[in-house]
């Protein structure tokens, strides 16, 4: 059971959260301008690193707010978390 640092609520049990995949994948400004390959790259392709990984999490059974967090995928430990688009604390 991960202990996830919600930037608003503090550390809470994993069961309160929903995973939102890799952070920092912005919705394209003009999807229609993208080729099929470019759109597929946005839609399907994500990183899968060993080590620190920036992720989105949603405190669905808590404050119902989204945030970004950096988690080490080899130890599962959270390194930092921050509201979307803000600097890590």
Partner 1 sequence: MTARRLPSGGSTIDRSRPISFTFDGAEVPAFEGDTIASALLANDVVGGFRSPILGRPRGLFSAGTEEPNAFVEISEPWFEPIVAATMVDVVDGMAVRSRPGVGRLRASPESRPLEHRHAHVELLVVGSGHDGFYPARDAAGRGERVMLVDQHRTIQRGAGGDFVAEGVTYLTRTTALGLYDEGYATVLERAAELDRLWHVRAKRVILATGAFERSIAFADNDRPGVMLAYASWLYHVEHGVVPGSRAVLFTARGGAYGAASNLAANGVEIPAIVDVGMTDPDADLIDDAEVLRGWVVSGTGGDHRLEAVHLEGPDGERRTLECDVLLVSGGWDPNLALWRAIGGGVRFDDDVHAFVPTEGPPWLSVVGAAAGEVTNDAPFWFVPAEDTSRHFVDFQRDQTVADIADALGTGLRSIEHVKRATYIGTAIDQGRTSGVLTAAIVNAMLGEHAGAQGPSNARPPSVPVAYATLAGRFRGDLFDPIRTTPLHAWHVEHGAVFEDVGQWKRPRFFPRAGESMDRAVERECLTVRNAVGAMDASTLGKIDVVGPDAPAFLDSMYTNRMSNLAVGSMRYGLMLGLDGLVLDDGVAMRLAEDRYLVTTTTGNAAIVLDRFEEWLQTEWPELRVYCTSVTEQWAVVAINGPLARDVVDAVGTDVDLSREAFPLMTFRDGQAVGVPARIARVSFSGELAYELHVAGWHGPLVWDAVMAAGQAFGIEPYGTEAMHVLRAEKGYVIVGQDTDGSVTPADLGMDWIVNPSKGDFIGKRSLRRADLVRPDRKQLVGLLPQDADAVLPEGAQLVLDEAAEIPMALAGHVTSSYRSPALGRAFALAMLEGGHAMHGRTVFAPLRDRVLACTVTSPVSYDADGARRDG
| Contact residues: partner 1, CB under 8 A | 1-3, 13-14, 18, 20, 26-28, 30-32, 34, 36, 39-40, 43, 56, 58, 60, 64-66, 75-77, 84-85
CB 43 to partner 1: min, Å: 6
By beta-carbon proximity to partner 1, the closer residue of 20 and 70 is 20
CB 8 to partner 1: min, Å: 12
Q: What is residue 6's three-state secondary structure?
A: strand
Beta strands in the chain (DSSP E): 3-6, 10-13, 18-22, 52-58, 66-72, 78-82
2 closest CA partner among 20, 10, 15: 15
CB 49 to partner 1: min, Å: 19
Q: What is residue 45's three-state secondary structure?
A: coil
CA distance 67 to 49: 20
By beta-carbon proximity to partner 1, the closer residue of 15 and 49 is 15
């Amino acid at each position: 059971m991960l202990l996830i640092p919600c930037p608003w609520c503090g550390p809470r049990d994993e069961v309160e959260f929903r995973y939102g995949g890799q952070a920092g994948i912005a919705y394209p400004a003009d999807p229609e301008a993208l080729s099929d390959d470019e759109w597929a790259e946005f839609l399907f392709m994500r990183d899968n690193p060993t080590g620190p990984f920036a992720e989105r999490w949603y405190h669905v059974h808590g404050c119902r707010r989204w945030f970004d967090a950096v988690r080490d995928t080899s130890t599962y430990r959270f390194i930092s978390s921050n509201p979307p688009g803000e600097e890590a604390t």
